[in-house]
Each structure stands twice: as C-alpha cells, then as structure tokens.
Amino acid sequence: MTSRFSSTPSRRTVVKAAAATAVAAPVLAATASPAGAADQAPAFLHGVASGDPLPDGVLLWTRVTPSADALPGSGTGADTEVAWEVAEDVGFTRVVARGATVSKAASDHTVKVDVRGLRPATSYWYRFTAGGAVSPAGRTRTAPATDAATPGVRFGVVSCANWEAGWFSAYRHLAARGDLDAVLHLGDYIYEYAAGGYPAEEYGVRKHAPLHEIVTLADYRLRHATYKTDADLRAMHAAHPLIAIWDDHEFANDAWSGGAENHTPGAEGEWAARVAAAKQAYFEWMPVRHVHRGHRLPAAALRQARGSASAGPAFVPLPAVGIGNGDVGDPDRSLTGRAQLDWLKSGLAASDASWKLVGTSVMISPVAFGSLPAHLLGPIAELMGLPKEGLAVNVDQWDGYTDDRKELLAHLTRHGIENTVFLTGDIHMAWANDVPVKAATYPLSASAATEFVVTSVSSDNLDDILHVAPGTVSLVASAAVRAANRHVKWVDMDAHGYGVLDVTAERSQMDYYTISDRTKQDASSSWSRSYRTLSGTQKVERVNQPVR
C-alpha cells in the first residue's frame, strides 16, 4: 500500500504554522452550498480548499462547473472568469486581497490562486465568484514569521480514505475543531479501484465514479471530483489548510518506480502514461503547489531555557520512490532514491528546529511477526503488505529497504540529531513506536527517533477484513506483535479515526481518536489513547488524557 513515486526534492515541504483561534461553528455554516447551486451555471459544486500556508500567503483552490455538460474529466466547458477575495472576517467587510483568474477545460476547470502579501499568523476568510454564483466561504491561516513566538502548534493527522468502504466522519470531526493549525494528510486521499473491488461489493456503503478502475486522465479527474462531493471532506477543506503527500492509491496499489501491483502493462497502457495522468489530476484537484515550500514551523516559546534561539518544529512530507529488485539489504535497493535521502539527511543535520517532524507514507519502525495464529497472519499480511506465504518482514515499508533506514538512523545518531518524529499512515492501524537503531538488542541499544502511525479514515482494518466485531481477534494479534517488537509501545488494529498532534518545546504528543462506525454518516468520535515523546528522549510514553 505504499507509494513508490516521488518528484524531485523540491516536492517536499517544511511548513510554518501557528495556533488557530477561529471557532468552528461559522466554518461549518459557511461551507453549505448556495441554494440551488446544482441548477446554476456556473456553479461551485466541489467546495473550496486552501493549503501549503506560508508566512505571507496561502494557496486557494476551487473548481468551477461552467455549464451542465462540463462534468469533471469531460474536457468540455467554456473558459470562465473567476474572481476571488480574501478578508479578515467571515462577512467579508474587511477585504485585504482580491483578484481574478480564468477557469479552463485544460485544467478541468480547477482554479488555484497563490495569494501573497498577507500578514503572518493570521486567520483569513476567502471565497470565489463566477457569473452570479458565489462559492462557499473557507477559513485559512497563514504561518507565522520565522522568528515569531507561539506556545505550540497543533495538527489534525489523517490517511487512507476509501469512498466505498465508509463515510468520512473523521473529516467532519476535524472540521468542527477550532484549534488546528492545519490538517496533515499522509496519503491515500483517493483509491483507484473499480466499484466493488475494495472492499467487496457486499461490504461497500456507496459507489464511487467512475465505476471502472481509473487509468486515464479523465478517470482520475472524475474520481477526485467524486471525493470532493462528500460533505465532510468539503467541510474539512473549508475549515483548515491542508498539507498533503501522496501514497500509492493516488496512482495504483503497491506502486513503485517501475510499475504497480494493480497495473497491467498493455491492457491498461504504459505505466508512465498512467503516472503522468494521476499526477496531473492530483495537482489540479489538490490544494498543493507544484513547486513546494521550504520553510519551518515557528520558533516560539519553543526557545531554550538559557535564551538561545531555537527554531520551532520542522515538518517534512516525504513521499517514497521504491527503486531496485534486490534483497531487502541491497544498497542499490532504495525507498527514497539517493537524491531525496541526501536532501533529507542534509536538512536534518542543518536544522536548528526544536522538533523534526517527518511525514512518511510508510512505517519506518522495524516490525517482526512472531507466533501469530494462522487465521490472523493472512489478514495482517494483507494490511501490512506482507507476502501471504508468511515471510515475517514487510518489504513494502522501510523494512524492505533496510540500507536506506540504516543510513538515515546512523545519520541521526552520528550527528546527535534529537527530537525526530516520523508521522505515518498507510497500514490502517494506529501505532506508537520507538525507532531503534538495532531492534534485536532494544531496549539495551539506542532509539534514534520516535514514530506515530495513524489509522485509516475508512479503509479496511483487521476486524473489517475478518468481518468480526472490533476487538474480537486484534488483542491476540497486537499482543503477539508487541511481544516480538519491544520498541512497539502500542498498536490498535481495529479502529478508524484520526490523530491530533500537539507540539510544544517540551514534548510532541499524539492524541488518537476513533470513529464509532464508518458505515454511519453520523458516527461519533471519541478519544482513544495518547502517547508523547519528551524532548531529548527519543522514546514514547503513554499519557492519560488528550491535550485540551
């Protein structure tokens, strides 16, 4: 389930943000579609979004439907002038920036505006107009200046949202929070399968479009558009700026640099053409910059006790590449690619950030599978990307590219780089891990970093695959995993939900929240557990309550 693609190192990002102060209620009210929008032309049927916040600006996004026949992926529809404005208030009485652009069929009538000249650490409202239509209003927030002071930063953290598998209640609950600086999406924003392909048709709750597996540019555009008709997804985008990386399903399952498990050369065309189509649709439909963003989170109350300047946490989204067909320890086999790994190492060594937050689409912590019952090994292998024959190494994660991991962890240790936290999605489970230099001798040997893995928004987890009640079998499996991996402090194989990451000078804490039932549109959310890593420790510990 891991992405094997990456663009050049400029695709990665380090983003600054500060604590948001706007309340959630006006956000939710403002996301409602205008009355009769579906009957108007032009219309804003896919909501609004913002992303990649900078100290002086943010990227704004929308999609205009210029006429009834201009469906996503159709390539039809007239060029349409679109005006935009940014204000300091939801009533748009204090407009601080405005302009106009053109929606064109060449970009599937999506519109992006990179607004600059805004004040750092400031909440803004934005909207678009075209003809007589007015878009929903969205709220966003700029990042603080490099030397700004803030008590901390807080992010929603999500991954793996499968349209057919369930409703996106996790997004709704994140939209309702007024305390987030941004939402970090760690990949699998969409899924590429045919209807009934995953999950099986009898277990699906709704059908996506198109019904066939997406392969062409038109297909990928329509699938992205389908996702953005979900009310909870639109609410999240309208409430918070997004910082996103892709995983594999934005392309095809188990994708790597030369192909994918879910791609048939010839019958589905050339792999390179499919990749190009998926990338184009992604950059059209996602609120991300093509050339990304190189700045840090704010320096703040995050200063050293003796007053020396200390930058705030740095967030680095790190898509994977996946190169080589050799053994897992083969130096020529690389998850990141040499350019990206060197870029990451260099950035980590040069950074004076208090915390280094590395977003990765696959788990870096090593995991060995000990004595698991046969009926559990297969489903866990499916979730983790393990060979069904029972090989106890996940070659679809950093475990399959051990030379890369060894080099990176040695770099952290050799240079004394502390407070590196890996943020991970992909495997539809929640984990809290130390990242040991040598797993076999841990805890007698050192930990180089820590890792928080968030579960899926809706994609199948262990009890979904087995079609049993949550907790029926996972307690046995999680106990076996922890027994064989002493650096794993906790694993939940059953829940759907999201995380909230809160970072201060003293600690980074992940609060894990679960959704009551992915098949219910009105599913509730509840706190499950919290884990934190204290500054300078490189170890995680359980906390008895979430951050308030």
Domain of 86 in residue numbering reads as 30-142
Q: What is the pLDDT of residue 302?
A: 22
pLDDT tops 90 at residue 157: yes
The answer to whether position 225 is within a domain reads no
**What percent of the chain stands above pLDDT 70?**
79
Which of 539, 489, 536 is closest to 512 using CA atoms?
A: 489
Q: What is the pLDDT of residue 318?
A: 53
Alpha helices by DSSP H, 199-270: 217-227, 231-239
Residues comprising the chain, all counted: 548
Cβ neighbours, 10 Å, residue 355: 25
Cβ neighbours, 10 Å, residue 286: 25
Which of 100, 162, 166, 126 is closest to 30 using CA atoms?
A: 126
The answer to whether position 430 is within a domain reads yes
Which of 312, 320, 319 is closest to 295 using CA atoms?
A: 312
Q: What is the full DSSP assignment across 457-479?
A: SSS--HHHHHT--TTTTHHHHHH
Check residues 384 and 129 and name the one with the higher pLDDT. 129
Q: What is the pLDDT of residues 234-284, one digit of tens each?
A: 999 999 999 999 999 999 998 877 899 999 998 999 999 999 999 999 999
Q: What is the pLDDT of residue 328?
A: 43
Tell me which residue has tokens 């190009």.
Answer: 276
- Please list the residues that pair with 123 across neighbouring strands: 141
Query: Which region, left, alpha or beta, applies to residue 340 given φ > 0 means left and ψ of -120 to 50 means alpha?
Result: alpha
Total of domains in the chain: 2
The answer to whether position 337 is within a domain reads yes
Cβ neighbours, 10 Å, residue 328: 15
The answer to whether position 338 is within a domain reads yes
pLDDT tops 60 at residue 292: no
Beta strand ranges found along 64-221 (DSSP E): 80-87, 95-103, 110-115, 123-130, 133-134, 138-141, 153-158, 182-185
The first and second tokens of residue 58, run together, are: 């943010």
- 425 burial class (0-12, 13-18, 19+ CB within 10 angstroms)? buried
The answer to whether position 305 is within a domain reads no
- 188 burial class (0-12, 13-18, 19+ CB within 10 angstroms)? buried
- 92 burial class (0-12, 13-18, 19+ CB within 10 angstroms)? middle
Cβ neighbours, 10 Å, residue 304: 10
The first and second tokens of residue 93, run together, are: 């009485």
Alpha-carbon gap, residue 193 to 275, rounded angstroms = 15
Rounded to the nearest 5°, which phi and psi values hold at 462?
A: -60, -50
- Please list the residues that pair with 184 across neighbouring strands: 157, 243
Alpha-carbon gap, residue 364 to 358, rounded angstroms = 11
Q: What is the pLDDT of residue 341?
A: 85
Band of residue 372 on the pLDDT scale cut at 50, 70, 90? low
Choose the final residue of a domain: 125, 142, 159: 142
Alpha-carbon gap, residue 21 to 19, rounded angstroms = 6
DSSP 8-state symbol, 198:
T
| CATH number, domain with residue 114 | 2.60.40.380
DSSP 8-state symbol, 323:
B
Alpha-carbon gap, residue 249 to 163, rounded angstroms = 12
Choose the final residue of a domain: 119, 142, 165: 142
Average per-residue pLDDT for the chain:
83
Q: What is the pLDDT of residue 151?
A: 79
pLDDT tops 70 at residue 331: no
pLDDT tops 70 at residue 332: no
Q: What is the pLDDT of residue 548?
A: 86
| CATH number, domain with residue 418 | 3.60.21.70
Query: Which region, left, alpha or beta, applies to residue 518 given φ > 0 means left and ψ of -120 to 50 means alpha?
Result: alpha
Q: What is the pLDDT of residues 375-427, one digit of tens each?
A: 677 777 777 665 544 444 444 455 555 577 888 999 999 999 999 999 999 99
Band of residue 304 on the pLDDT scale cut at 50, 70, 90? very low
Q: What is the pLDDT of residue 526?
A: 98
52: which residues sit within 8 A by CB, 6+ positions away?
13, 15, 58, 59, 241, 243, 287, 288, 289, 292, 293
| Mean pLDDT value across residues 43-61 | 96
**What percent of the chain stands above pLDDT 90?**
61
Cα 86 to the center of its chain, rounded Å? 26
CA dist 63 to 70, 130, 136, 141, 286, Å?
Answer: 11, 11, 12, 21, 10
Query: Which region, left, alpha or beta, applies to residue 538 given φ > 0 means left and ψ of -120 to 50 means alpha?
Result: left
The answer to whether position 289 is within a domain reads no
Q: What is the pLDDT of residue 23?
A: 28
Q: What is the pLDDT of residues 444-474, one digit of tens each?
A: 889 999 999 999 999 999 889 888 887 777 7
Choose the final residue of a domain: 85, 111, 142: 142
Q: What is the pLDDT of residues 209-242, one digit of tens each?
A: 999 999 999 999 999 999 999 999 999 999 999 9
Contact 284, 218 (CB under 8 A): no
Alpha-carbon gap, residue 457 to 326, rounded angstroms = 34
The first and second tokens of residue 183, run together, are: 């939402």
| Mean pLDDT value across residues 501-518 | 96
Rounded to the nearest 5°, which phi and psi values hold at 107?
A: -115, 25
The answer to whether position 434 is within a domain reads yes
Q: What is the pLDDT of residue 402?
A: 58
Band of residue 313 on the pLDDT scale cut at 50, 70, 90? low
Which of 78, 80, 74 is closest to 62 using CA atoms?
A: 80
35: which residues sit within 8 A by CB, 6+ positions away?
none
Check residues 514 and 298 and name the one with the higher pLDDT. 514
Q: What is the pLDDT of residue 6?
A: 31
Among the listed ranges 106-115, 271-280, 308-317, 326-335, which one has the minimum average pLDDT value?
Answer: 308-317
The answer to whether position 294 is within a domain reads no
